[in-house]
Structure 1
Amino acid sequence: MKNAGLKTGLLAAMAGLTAGNVAAADYRSNPFTLAYEGAITRNAPGKVNIRAVTYKLNGLDIAANVYTPADFDPAGKYRAIVVAHPNGGVKEQVAGLYAQHLAEQGYVAIAADAAYQGASGGQPRNVDKPAYRIEDIHGMADFVTSFAGVDTARLGLLGLCGGGGYSLAAAATDKRFKSVATLSMFNSGRVRRNGYADSQLDTIQERLAQASQARAEEMAGGPVRYSGDADLTAEQIAALPYALYRQGYEYYWKTHAHPGSTFKYTTSSLLDLMRFDATDQIELIKTPLLMIAGTEADSLYMTEAAFAKATGTTDKELFKIPGATHIETYWKPDYVAAASGKLTAFFNRTL
């Protein structure tokens, strides 16, 4: 690490990261550039199909994939799920994996790249502001509820990692979502503000000053500053203090890499991130809530804290997958199967 600011930015940025010895899922070998095992390779009759779509959201082009069930009939009435991707991720990674699994169970599922990220529009690149990520979720709901064959009265929401925290915020006020689930939820605001595991409480003001300076430089026409953009050696990765970060490099940079995926975000985004918390007004969620996390995830504390604060609904469950770390829920077959089975039962009951 070159300095404390870089280390802080890197540790704060790695919001969705899993374990070594993962089987590679090369996006280059998939015609849809999907980077997960078992991904669709062609749209075949009688099978789950994937449709690349683009729609406008606040003047920006949003790139999304819509997964439709086998023998999909546009004249039918299908339940639908909005899937929000992790921080740094794109729709072709774990969000696509779970969207495909849901489509295999008869749901229409949409996964979109966040505005300013992935294949979606917006400049500068990799702005990561909570208001934008929450608006992305509302925008996916807008689009999928106008999709032929979708029953607008049966819409659910699934948020993964950072997308899980933003999903809680979106579901607090968007009552189109009849139920909400999170997997390995990551409270981006808490981590950007306090550090991972609340380990950087003593540097909050210093980091806010850095973010303020970065915004001032942007507004003056200077360069856009980024946090979380680092090229670490194997030794540096091994020395990172949390499994989430170590395993994240393996997943995002090696086994499930995608060119649209990056850890970096504009440093000025921290002005918004550090005053955000995924649990703010969480009691406004009145719909059924399912929160899933691995027992060995060092991010589990965020799911447990949010679950305790979700007092607005009595229909809620915290489901822990024995032995799973945060990112192993992204790819490891046994853990994906456990999470998918729980999600299917939950959405079947609540939608």
Structure 2
Amino acid sequence: MNKIVIAALIACMPIIGQAQSISQMEQKNIRNMENLTLTKEWDKTFPQSDKVNHTKVTFINRYGITLAADMYVPKNVTGKLSAIAVCGPFGAVKEQAAGLYAQTMAERGFLTIAFDPSYTGESGGEPRYVVSPDINTEDFSAAVDFLATNDKVDSERIGIIGICGWGGLAINAAAADPRIKATVASTMYDMSRVNANGYFDADDSAEARNILRKKLAAQRTEDFRNGFPKPGGGVPDELPADAPQFFKDYHAYYKTSRGYHPRSLNSNQGRNATEAIPFINFPLMSRADEIENAVLVIHGEKAHSRYFGEDAFKKLQGDNKELMIIPGASHTDLYDRTETIPFDKIETFFINNFK
């Protein structure tokens, strides 16, 4: 290497250092850009427990989106705690089933957070009510980032719970992130499968998918022309007379005082009408057989979605995977029926796999 080249490299070194410093400053500014306004009053669909302390927290995912969460910490505990992040159902918010799961597990000694996914509820992200199998999987790992760096948490004992559509996303997150030591998928949907194939795989053909793709592409054009996305519609206010039972079950949860929440997508206008686009070509279960850590799949015996959980379980490998079928339970019974949700089993599962 001649002297001219060496001199040029030396001359560049301060510039490189300065660029790194500027980059770090920019990253810090970016991380502080999205300031969320969080509700201060208790606005959950379940009563507040006097056994845990509740606070609002925020954290940022890998895409720079600020996520909002409720953190539940058991009272009168010392030392580092095991921790669990909870999300779901798909189209719900943390004030509904996820919060109930999180608060209940905190009562049992875990530090927990229930978070709103990107673009939804109190979390950030624009445009609103967008879904993404990639970003929503990342949301779970961002929750793990937050928990792993919390002074109250043992970073080697972190798990996740995904409910409904977030059960499938939880399994996908477990396949991507080995920091997740144990995963519970409760009353799960495989959102890729149902969007690509229809219910019970009734539309599992290239012809059917191409018809759907053309419809979604036309909607994209309309959304761009209008300057805003069309809502996809949540659970309807009034059910048709021939509505299937699982639609009636959704209505009984999202449209009544049992589970209605003003920020819930399913309680209101739903996600964007183009929500199926990314899921059609994104198979969530594609790496499920590579998950080394523990997974518990829970489903209701009478749930219309039971086949999602059973087929996901078939893909899992190893002797630390379990399938639990709850006798007589429907899909939505595992949202909030505390006498039906197997919290004893969930607690034991996490304790045994956090050792």
For the aligned pair, the TM-score class normalised by the smaller chain equals: 0.7 to 0.9
Alignment of 1:1-351 (within 5 A): 31-36=41-46, 38-40=47-49, 47-57=51-61, 58-73=63-78, 76-201=79-204, 203-219=208-224, 222-229=227-234, 231-234=236-239, 236=240, 238-241=241-244, 243-254=245-256, 255-263=258-266, 264-311=270-317, 313-336=318-341, 339-351=342-354
Greater relative CO (CA pairs within 8 A, separation 6+): 1
Report the CA distance between 1:253 and its aligned residue. 1.5
Q: What residue ranges of structure 2 are gaps of 5+ in the alignment?
A: 1-39
SS state of the match for residue 50, structure 1?
strand
Relative distance call for 1:192 and 1:31 in structure 2 (3 A) is same
* Mapped partners of 1:92, 1:232: distance in 2: 20
SS state of the match for residue 324, structure 2?
strand
* Mapped partners of 2:350, 2:58: distance in 1: 26
Amino acid at match of 2:42: F
Relative distance call for 1:340 and 1:186 in structure 2 (3 A) is same
Report the CA distance between 1:148 and its aligned residue. 2.1
Report the CA distance between 1:221 and its aligned residue. 5.8
* Mapped partners of 1:316, 1:49: distance in 2: 32
Report the CA distance between 1:283 and its aligned residue. 1.1
Aligned length: 308
* Mapped partners of 2:263, 2:142: distance in 1: 20
Report the CA distance between 1:204 and its aligned residue. 2.1
Higher radius of gyration, 1 or 2: 2
Relative distance call for 1:289 and 1:230 in structure 2 (3 A) is closer
In the alignment, is the contact (CA less than 8 A) between 1:165 and 1:186 conserved in 2? yes
SS state of the match for residue 340, structure 2?
helix
In the alignment, is the contact (CA less than 8 A) between 1:68 and 1:107 conserved in 2? yes
> What residue in structure 1 maps to residue 33 of structure 2?
none
Q: What is the TM-score normalised by the length of structure 2?
A: 0.82
SS state of the match for residue 208, structure 2?
helix
* Mapped partners of 1:230, 1:34: distance in 2: 19
Q: What is the TM-score normalised by the length of structure 1?
A: 0.83
Q: What residue ranges of structure 1 are gaps of 5+ in the alignment?
A: 1-29
Identity %: 33
CA RMSD of aligned residues (A): 1.8
SS state of the match for residue 247, structure 2?
helix
In the alignment, is the contact (CA less than 8 A) between 1:173 and 1:284 conserved in 2? no
In the alignment, is the contact (CA less than 8 A) between 1:190 and 1:276 conserved in 2? no
